[in-house]
Amino acid sequence: MTSTAPVTSGTVAVPDGTIYYEVRGSGPLIALVGAPMDSGPFGALAELLASDHTVLCPDPRGHGRSTVTDADKDSTPELRADDLARVITHIGQGPAVVLGSSGGAITGLALAIDRPELVSTLIAHEPPLRELLDDRDDLRARTDEIVDVYNTGDVIGAVRKFGEMSGLFMPEEMLEQMFGGERDPRAIASDDFFYRHELHTTSGWQPSLDALRATPTTIVIGIGDESAGLFCDRTSRALGGELGIEPTLFPGGHAGFMEQPDAFAGRVREVIEAD
């Protein structure tokens, strides 16, 4: 099913900035949440789900069209969860199903702890929780190295090292196309915010596992069926082991919702209907 519903947009004030969001479709509310990814790459999936859902796509703080008053303040999962809670409350159609991707999955986990009344089901797709892994010390050191390389001004080198750690490699020609030459100032600011104020606080987050076990929110841990053995496959399975939740496979890899949006939308519907 596809949708041709118009997209409406707005902003919600938060204590230290504004959060931009887009809404399309009608029906039960589902929020598609990334970090650091903004709402743009969720577009195809949002269109598919909008045929029978109200689909909310916010830009996380410091990225896309969302702003922060202090660009040197770290973006934590708790802050992003509070932002998301404010947007869901503003839309007024909650509780929502939340599909969080990568860092957005961690935002969703924080929301399920802090404001569970706002999220009926959380699909946490490949949350990068490195502190659950036995090699966490090495991963911390490698993350430090990524940030250090970024701080030298070598953005492409930092992206390469991130790919080496995560298994999410990018072809050299794409690296040059996306990160070489003249770039959009907003994209530069987004990279800066991510590497200096978000990467460590997101992947290094240590949630209360007891709180996640106790939340009334239904938690689904999603893993791409092409992600076997990669960093986020390992972290997702580690979280599932801690919570006693068998992970659910979704089409594609870490960005399966972009790679195979039709199949991914079908899987999302199956998960929602099974709840």
Domains of the chain, first to last: 8-134+206-274 (3.40.50.1820), 136-199 (no CATH)
Percent of the chain with pLDDT over 70: 99
Q: Which residues contact 201 (CB under 8 A, 6 or more apart)?
A: 74, 75, 76, 77
pLDDT tens for each residue of 245-255: 999 999 999 99
Query: How many Å apart are CA 82 and CA 67, to the nearest integer?
Result: 15
Q: Is the pLDDT of residue 213 over 80?
A: yes
Query: How many Å apart are CA 144 and CA 75, to the nearest integer?
Result: 17
Instruction: Name the pTM for this structure.
Output: 0.95
What residues form DSSP beta bridges with 125? 101, 222
Q: Which residues contact 102 (CB under 8 A, 6 or more apart)?
A: 34, 35, 37, 125, 126, 127, 128, 232, 254
Distances (CA, A) of 9 to 12, 39, 87, 127: 10, 11, 12, 27
Q: Is the pLDDT of residue 2 over 50?
A: no
Distance of CA 20 to the CA centre of its chain: 15
